[in-house]
Chain A
C-alpha cells in the first residue's frame, strides 16, 4: 500500500515563529488532506489539497503531486496551534485514505 511519511516528527516553536511541515507519499494520489488533532483528540480538517496551493488565515498548504509531497505552512504560530498535524492521502473517489506518521507541534509562550 501507499506509504506516507511526515517530517519532522516533533517540533517546538516559540510563539510567533513560522514553521513548515512536510508530507511525502509513495504513489500518485487524488485525495490529500491536512488535519490538526487537538489535545482532546478531535480531528480538524485544515485543507483538502490534492494539488496546488491554498491559504486560510495563518495557514497555507502546497501540494506538488508530480513530486509526491505536500507542505503545510504555519505563520505567526500561537499556543492554540499545538497538537498533532496529520496528512492523509488516497486515490480519491470513495476509497480509503492512509494517514501519515504525524508531526507533534508544541508552541511555547
Chain B
C-alpha cells in the first residue's frame, strides 16, 4: 500500500527559531499533499494544499509567511514554521494523494511541535 513518511516525530525548539517538517511519499508519486494541524482533543484542520511545482493554497486564517510550504518534487513536501512561538505548539500531520486513488489519502505519522 501507499506509505507516507513524516519527520521528525517530535521536536522542541526555542521561541523565535524556525522548524522544518518533512513529508515523503515512499512508494508513489504524490501529486498533491496536504498539511493539517491538530490541537489537543480536537479534529484535524486543513492548513494548506500543495501541488508539485506550484505555490501552496492556504486555508483562510493561515499565515502563509509563517507556515512556508514547499512541494518541489513528487515525493517530498516540507512545512517550515518560521519564527516559532509557543502558540504554534501543536500536532502537524501531512497527507498525500496521487495516482493511487483507490487508497484515498495516506497520512504521515505526525510531528508534535513544542515551542518553549
Contacts and interface: CB of A to CB of B under 8 A. Distances in A.
A48 B45 CA distance: 20
Interface in B77-115: 91, 93, 97-98, 101-107, 109-110, 112
A102 B39 CA distance: 13
Nearest to B109: A42
Which range contains the number of B residues in contact with the other chain? 20 to 34
A12 to B, nearest CB: 16
Q: How large is the interface on A (under 10, 10 to 19, 20 to 34, 35 or more residues)?
A: 10 to 19
Nearest to B102: A48
A97 interface: yes
Given A35-B107, A41-B112, A45-B104, A100 B91 contact: no
17 contacts: A31-B104, A35-B107, A41-B38, A41-B91, A41-B93, A43-B93, A45-B105, A45-B106, A86-B43, A88-B44, A88-B105, A94-B98, A96-B34, A97-B34, A98-B46, A99-B36, A102-B43
Interface of B: 31-32, 34, 36, 38, 43-46, 49, 51, 91, 93, 97-98, 101-107, 109-110, 112
